[in-house]
Structure 1
């Protein structure tokens, strides 16, 4: 019997029927409503629609934000006006069946662990590099959620004391230095300085953004400004992974999100910074690094699997 996975984003809700092997049988997408109550209604409509054509065993919902230890209440969400929102109960009342609620980065990490780049690895860390940095930790085959339910927020470790302000209310968080937004900031700084930034400046749009396709072309041509921008972000990420290694000792780091599209251009400098940041560098085992394989479907697939397992 299949599960439904729902991934609630800031601009869209993606839902799909997911088989036990992680394959998506049918998928739907709608725009995310502005009001929380309308959002719960939209999820319920999507589940009922899918249930008309498929036999559904369970429902999982992934959402950005801090979720309490009972996996019932959204304590705080960055993109939706949720503060201590009893989302699980609201959805169950509308859907009429049990709902599993999970943080979206955790769901994506679990999806990669079960069906993606992390298959066969019992201890892994996933970092999703998008607007911010999402984190997920699997230890001995179990998803780490912490005593209060909000563990694994790796993008919000204090990377630089007194550093750039972060949307979480702190300063110097990793996501200010190793995210897609951070990469565009480095690109803008290098382009504005001239010199090696000339190639970047030539392809910036009206907002000062370098489109992904142009960035890929510059990297393929070994443009020095593009390479330097990636090196800065990759170095921050690699150094942070060295710190994560000291605490969590994963066998594998899985890198996802839009920045991961850079592939080996990103991973090579990440590995260099990681290895030289390790305690006991040169004498201890090192982790492998891999690019995530499930793309934007990882959260949907992961939360559907969690719903099936939590039953």
Structure 2
């Protein structure tokens, strides 16, 4: 005979599990996420080149996880322009989709509700709900990796602009006629403050100050592509003077850009995420100091808190899964009525 406590437990609804998928240029990463933002199971597949193959990779990853867990919906975090209704991808520079109704297409194949979000927006929502921006009224996320992704949250809601593509902070021009950018402009912020920029700065310094970094010079002579942002950060940790100088340049440009961001948005908190943020001890304090010195009204206004992301590489997965959960929660009361 069941005890009273057993009967209550049997009637209690199970926690809602949803799937978040981070669709990047190199891999499709999917995870099952619970209501506390914890990722409890994951899978990964290489990102294929063709449109149909990309759909197959995503549905395959979701099905694999759905076979192991009872999930209610899925969210996709996409590195590209997503329409304001979060149903279609307009353009994604490293993916095959061009003006494609991705959410509806994947949903039909899976029989699950599916929602899309820009990957930086998804990461910002995750940090606001579970991480470094929790409770902030106005928050900006700056994701520094190969380039710069960005998101703006106001009262916990994503600001998308008139056409769903704001804010492209990485393509603010900080150096007129500066380094060329894949976007078509020259001198964009991400050309001076990113993993790619860190490598470019190191190569320029090697040409200007030969002999100041034996390790990086040897690697550059063998193959300049070996001098990556990750490699420069590692050399800086090991005390290489040229790598440290390149890291100081990144810190200066980060502080410069964050001052512009703060002048425009006046956020309560700025969350620095992305792969480069893993090396934050090498540059973030210096960036904070430069930010505080060049912001308009320096010394006479409150400053945004500048924090590193707490959820790391899982932020896109967690944010996309949370959006999927919100869809389920919106539908449930209507279904009950």
TM-score (norm 2): 0.86
Inter-partner Cα distance in structure 1 for 2:132 and 2:325:
21
Inter-partner Cα distance in structure 2 for 1:216 and 1:132:
16
Inter-partner Cα distance in structure 2 for 1:111 and 1:207:
39
More deviation, 116-125/289-298 = 116-125
1:255 matches 2:241: no
Unaligned runs of 5+ in 2: 1-15, 329-337
Shift in alpha-carbon separation, 1:199–1:269, aligned structure 2, 3 A: farther
More deviation, 59-68/209-218 = 209-218
Q: How many residue pairs are counted as aligned between the two chains?
A: 311
TM-score (norm 1): 0.93
Inter-partner Cα distance in structure 1 for 2:215 and 2:299:
37
Q: Which residue of 2 aligns with 1:307?
A: 324
Check conservation: 1:187, 1:200, Cα contact below 8 A: no
Inter-partner Cα distance in structure 2 for 1:53 and 1:217:
39
Inter-partner Cα distance in structure 1 for 2:207 and 2:81:
37
Q: 1:271 aligns with which of 288, 307, 330?
A: 288
SS of residue matched to 2:283? helix
Q: 1:4 aligns with which of 1, 14, 19?
A: 19
Shift of 1:240: 1.1
1:98 matches 2:113: yes
Q: 1:27 aligns with which of 38, 42, 47?
A: 42
Q: Which residue of 1 aligns with 2:261?
A: 244
Let me know the Cα RMSD of the aligned residues. Answer: 1.9
The aligned runs of 1:1-311 (5 Å cut-off) are 1-194=16-209, 197-199=212-214, 201-202=216-217, 204=219, 206-208=222-224, 209-210=226-227, 215-216=232-233, 218-220=235-237, 222-311=239-328
More deviation, 250-259/111-120 = 111-120
Structure number with larger C-alpha Rg:
2
Inter-partner Cα distance in structure 2 for 1:47 and 1:244:
36
Shift of 1:282: 0.7
Check conservation: 2:196, 2:228, Cα contact below 8 A: no
Inter-partner Cα distance in structure 2 for 1:247 and 1:212:
29
Q: Render the CA deviation track for 1:144-163: whole Å, top value 9, x for unaligned.
A: 22221111221111222222
Q: Render the CA deviation track for 1:56-94: whole Å, top value 9, x for unaligned.
A: 122101111111111122111110122212211211121
Shift in alpha-carbon separation, 1:233–1:212, aligned structure 2, 3 A: closer
